[in-house]
Structure 1
């Protein structure tokens, strides 16, 4: 006989509580401190995810725990230390500010109860803890918005795993909607184009514009992952919005690890080749990152800048991610509202007093039936 399941309930839940809608932003995550001790459990969770490393567990886990987690944490901690701020990890600081901005923007536009919360796929605050908190705040309808413009099984797919693992433990899971990707979202493309133009106005225009996306193993693409195609679509739309010729904008992929072939061309090889080809000033944007993080601030703006200069280039100028810019906040808020259409909390005629009265009346009727 199958054992019964104890589903998680809501302590102190009232059946006459006014329901709310929620927007769950999810980003990759970050260690709690730029130290090897803090980096090690973060990397163990990240690199232990079968969505990220698609090797048989019997093969991969001994390598991860026997080799990688012994060698990589000190190196990663050193890289994190270069970008750490007084407020903490840039990824968490910017992500929290983005969530705060969206909460304020939604509050200005709608009278209904809408909560915005931020979770990290790896590390804290966790997806499970954040959904539990949203439930305590009365969220009955939940939109999951992973902060990955382009879909990949390694990123968005993993977020959906974490959400599903959480929901199947709940006695009363919320109604669920998901933003699968937003790689062609017009307002986001416009915001990216505006950030490039602002950079050109302030610093002059470089000889080339390089768009560097995070890489994934090429075999994931052949298995059906749409990431490469969506990155190329984002690049094309941005190039068209900027009025650039095909030879003025270059696409590459960064952050590869291991020996197998990843999406190419590789960013480190590309910046060296561009310098060898005579490019003196190179502008770089990373449109796959909603906010700045280790991969943009250290790998791109520091490591690859050095590669470019060592190969004969004059200067590599990194253009920051959209972060908590007002245009970014508005674009993601518009995106969220479009996906929440039909929910009462986002209706233009939502009346909190009327909704409360209707719910209270229904609760009284139900209580009377239960007691009869």
Structure 2
């Protein structure tokens, strides 16, 4: 054990022969993962990204012989143009990247600072994307090369779903298959009911409402959708979304009916979880609810689904139906309360691996 820990500055083990390859100082890695982003909004970057995403069996589980010809020959001949236009409308042109990438970098910068303060310099914090870059495999390789003998993997999805948390874990485990010396690993469970996560959501609502002249008639909690069939097959996502809304309502001290739970981003011919956000906000407007606010508790960072879909299609549906005031409450992003919640999840899951610095 002494040989494994006591390493000189040049990367050699103390008692190793002169020709032994350099060995990095042992560290603990924290790897956070988000969905992903295209490298650009032109046709080919969009096509590569969409092909990877829509070929994931966790996302669309149709038989390949049936789905791939439809995807490659029809869907991907047109969709990269429309999706690219949507991305272009929200693109961070100054940094040359999507808002999701910009926000994730900011989140990780704060997590690095918090981890260093709490655990010292023996911890490495990085991020990867399930689809696109930086790929999970490339970041795992870099962390192992940097000496990470233990890695905690944190998918940035508060609620568990097979199409988000599970596929991120799948990709992480696939990356480990290529490592000669696999690190010890842990994956974090969903954290939708963590008190600090709920507190961060509640604070974001309170801040938004404090800046309004008149309180909205209803708060719509819009979660990413999934086929209803997945719920019937055992995916807990729907139930966890419902509980998130309830816990948020209780923390805010509001009565029943003050928060509506809906689902967005419907794709394909199947029935998805209902009610659909785009239809529900129109129904609210027609029913006389002229002022609404929308929050997206399933997204850890603002992205195409929030910046373009909610503030575009969903807002337009509400206003077209007679709605007068539409307030979008941003995702938690790199808000300090969000970082505190993530650090609490990280600390809980590092138990036994590392001691907090005093």
Q: Deviations over 1:123-169 (max 9, x none)?
A: 00000000001111111110000011111110111011101111122
Q: Quick check: 1:243 aligned with 2:250?
A: no
Quote the residue 2:227 is aligned against: 217
Matching residue within 24, 40, 43 for 2:31: 24
Counterpart CA distance in 2 for 1:84 and 1:171 is 39
**Pairing 1:311-326 to 2, within 5 Å after superposition:** 311-326=321-336
User: In structure 1, what is the Cα distance between the partners aligned to 2:42 and 2:253?
Assistant: 44
| 1:35 pairs with 2:42 | yes
User: Partner of 2:63 in structure 1?
Assistant: 56
Instruction: Kindly state the Cα deviation for residue 74 of structure 1 after the two structures are TM-superposed.
Output: 0.3
1:118 aligns with 2:127: yes
Deviations along 1:225-279, whole A, 9 cap, x unmatched? Answer: 0100110111110010111111111010000111110000000110110000001
1:14 has 2:18 as partner: no
One of 112, 117, 124 as aligned partner of 1:108? 117
1:280 and 1:13, CA in 2 relative to 1: closer, same or farther beyond 3 A? farther
Give the one of 173, 187, 193 matched to 1:178.
Answer: 187
Retained in 2: the 8 A contact 1:210–1:285?
yes
1:161 pairs with 2:167: no
How far apart in 1 are the matches of 2:131 and 2:120? 33
Q: SS of 2:193's equivalent?
A: coil
Cα distance, 1:58 vs. partner?
0.8
Q: Which has the higher contact order (CA 8 A, sep 6+)?
A: 1
Contact map agreement 1:22 1:142 (CA 8 A) in 2: yes
Point out where structure 2 has 5 or more consecutive residues left out of the alignment.
1-19
Q: State how far apart, in whole Å, the 2-side matches of 1:58 and 1:180 are.
A: 34
| Matching residue within 144, 151, 155 for 1:135 | 144
Partner of residue 362, structure 1? none
Any conservation in 1 of the 2:157–2:190 contact (CA below 8 Å)?
Answer: yes
**Normalising by structure 2, what TM-score?**
0.92
Matched, 1:233 2:258: no
**Secondary structure of 1:52's aligned partner:** coil
Deviation at 1:112, TM superposition (A): 4.5
Tell whether the 8 Å contact from 1:271 to 1:307 is kept in structure 2 after alignment.
yes
**Aligned Cα RMSD in Å?**
1.2
Distance 1:334 1:183 in 2: 13
The normalised TM-score by structure 1 is 0.88
Show the counterpart of 1:70: 77
